[in-house]
Amino acid sequence: MMNNVIGQQAANLYQNTAKIGAGVGSSARDDTVSFGTMVKAGLEKVVDTQKKSEAMSAQAVTGTANITDVVQAVTEAEVVVQTAVAVRDRVINAYQEIMRMPV
């Protein structure tokens, strides 16, 4: 069951990313969605997910939250942070490759 939850969360994250990036490249003159906007939206998602996870954890400490909801919130936060770290690593690698290119 836990693998299904993680799989569903990963699918939801992929769909959200696809929705954010849907406008990118659709028109050369249409700058409604820029790379910076996509990064900002992604980081806001990370922060919001972390806040939700912390709130659920606090409720678990007081005994007012369902343990299943707490585990789901913490797992979602973990997946979002792992995704953000993976994207950061790819951006750093791309930058390093560009810097190694001969001019």
Q: How far apart are the first and last CA of the chain?
A: 53
Annotated domain spans of the chain: 31-103
pLDDT tens digit string along 45-77? 999 999 999 999 999 999 898 899 999 999 999
**Alpha-carbon dihedral sign for residues 7, 13, 15, 21:** negative
Beta strands per DSSP E along the chain: none
29, 95 in Cβ contact below 8 A? no
**DSSP assignment of 53-95:** HHHHHHHHHHT-S-HHHHHHHHHHHHHHHHHHHHHHHHHHHHH
pLDDT tens digit string along 70-101? 999 999 999 999 999 999 999 999 999 999 99
